[in-house]
Chain A
Amino acid sequence: MTKKLNRRDFIKNTTANTVGVASIASGISLTTFAASENPVSNKKRWGMLIDTNKLSEANIEDMVNACQEEHGWGNEKYSTGEQKPDWIKKVKVKDKATGKIDSLPLMCQHCEQPPCVDVCPTNASVKREDGIVLVDKHLCIGCRYCMMACPYDSRSFVHENLSNQKADTPRGKGTVEACTMCVHRVDKGEVPACVEAVGGDGVIFGDLYDANSKINKTLKKIQSTQIRADLNLNTGVRYSGI
Chain B
Amino acid sequence: MNIRYQQIAGTSWGFIALIAGLFAVILAALGSVYFMEHHGHYVTGMSNRVVWGVPHVLALFLIVAASGALNVASIASVFDKKIYKPLARLSGLVALSLLAGGLMILVLDLGRPDRLIVAMTEYNFKSIFAWNIILYNGFFVIVAVYLWMMFERRMNKFTSKAGLAAFAWRLILTTGTGSIFGFLVARQAYDAVIMAPMFIIMSFSFGLAFFILILMASYKWSERELGDVIVNRLGNLFGVFIAAVMYFVIIKHLGSLYLAENSAVENFILFGDHIYTPLFWIVQMIIGGLLPLALIYLPAFRGNRSALGLASVLVIIGGIAQLYVIIIGGQAHPLELFPGKEIIEGYDSIATYSPSLPEIILGAGGIAVALIATTLLLKFLPFLPESLADSVADPHHKK
**A-side interface residues toward B, CB under 8 Å?**
76, 78-86, 89-97, 101, 103, 106, 115, 118-124, 139-145, 147-153, 155-161, 173-176, 227-228, 230-231, 242
Do A93 and B338 have beta carbons less than 8 Å apart?
A: yes
Nearest-Cβ distance from residue A144 to partner chain B, whole angstroms: 4
Listed residue (A94, A115, A143, A151) with the most chain B CB atoms within 10 angstroms of its CB? A143
* Chain B positions 318 through 346: 1 when the CB is less than 8 Å from some CB of chain A, otherwise 0: 00000000000001000111111111111
User: What are 22 of the A-B contact pairs (CB < 8 Å)?
Assistant: A85-B48, A89-B346, A91-B346, A93-B343, A96-B342, A119-B184, A121-B122, A122-B130, A124-B122, A139-B115, A140-B115, A143-B119, A148-B187, A155-B48, A157-B48, A159-B47, A173-B40, A174-B111, A176-B111, A228-B337, A228-B339, A231-B186
Contact A151 B118 (CB under 8 A): no
Nearest residue, chain B, Cβ from A77: B42
Q: Is B337 a contact of A142 with CB atoms below 8 Å?
A: no
Inter-chain contact B341/A93, CB cutoff 8 Å:
yes
Are B127 and A231 interface neighbours, CB within 8 A? no
A121 touches B40 (CB 8 A): no
Contact of B52 among A82, A144, A173 (CB under 8 A): A144
Question: How far in angstroms is the closest Cβ of chain B from A112?
Answer: 15
- Report B-chain residues with C-beta under 8 Å of the C-beta of A159: 40-42, 47
**Contacting pair B343 A121 (CB below 8 A):** no
Query: Are A139 and B122 interface neighbours, CB within 8 A?
Result: yes
Q: Is the CB of A157 within 8 A of B344?
A: no
Q: How far is the CA of A93 from the CA of B119 in the complex (A)?
A: 39
Q: Which residues of chain B come closer than 8 Å to A80, judged between CB atoms?
A: 42
Inter-chain contact A175/B112, CB cutoff 8 Å: yes
The yes or no answer to B83 lying at the interface (CB within 8 A) is no
| Interface pair B127/A145, CB less than 8 Å apart | yes
Contact status B40-A161, CB under 8 Å = yes
- Tell me which residues across on chain B come within 8 A of A91, comparing CB atoms: 337, 343, 345-347
A9 to chain B, nearest CB (A): 29
Which residues 322-381 of B sit at the A interface, judged by CB distance below 8 A?
331, 335-348, 351-352
Complex Cα distance A103/B331, Å?
Answer: 24
Residues of A contacting B110 with CB < 8 Å? Answer: 141-143, 174
Shortest C-beta distance, B159 to chain A (Å), equals 34
Given contacts A115-B186, A153-B335, contact A82 B48 (CB under 8 A): yes
The residues in B between 107 and 142 inclusive whose CB is less than 8 angstroms from any CB of A are: 110-113, 115-116, 118-119, 122-124, 126-130, 133
B344 touches A147 (CB 8 A): no
> Does B9 sit within 8 A of A, measured CB to CB?
no
Residues of B within 8 A of A97 (CB): 340
Minimum CB–CB distance for B122 against chain A, Å:
4
Residues of B near A118 (CB, < 8 A) are 124, 126-127
**In the complex the two chains form, is B40's CB within 8 Å of A158's CB?**
yes
List residues of chain B with CB within 8 A of the CB of A160.
39-42
User: Which A residues are in CB contact (< 8 Å) with B342?
Assistant: 93-96
* Other A-B pairs, 20, CB within 8 Å; known A91-B345, A101-B344, A144-B111: A78-B40, A80-B42, A82-B47, A83-B46, A83-B47, A85-B48, A92-B345, A93-B344, A119-B129, A122-B124, A122-B130, A141-B112, A141-B115, A145-B129, A149-B186, A151-B337, A159-B40, A173-B40, A173-B111, A228-B186
Question: Given A158-B40, A173-B40 in contact, is the A142-B341 Cβ separation under 8 Å?
Answer: no
> Does A157 contact B346, Cβ atoms closer than 8 Å?
no
Pairwise interchain contact B340-A174, C-beta atoms closer than 8 A: no
Chain B residue, CB-CB nearest to A85:
B48
Whole-angstrom distance from the CB of A108 to the nearest CB of chain B?
A: 13
The 6 closest A-B pairs by CB, nearest first: A142-B111, A174-B111, A151-B186, A82-B47, A91-B346, A92-B345
Task: Check B127 against A152 for contact (C-beta < 8 Å).
Answer: no
Chain A residues near B390: list those with CB within 8 A.
none
The answer for the CA separation of A94 and B348 in the assembled complex, in Å, is 14
CA distance A80 to B50 in the complex (A): 13
> Does B225 interact with chain A (Cβ within 8 Å)?
no
A229 to B213: give the CA distance in the assembly, Å. 50
Interface centre among B47, B340, B341 (most CB of A within 10 A): B341
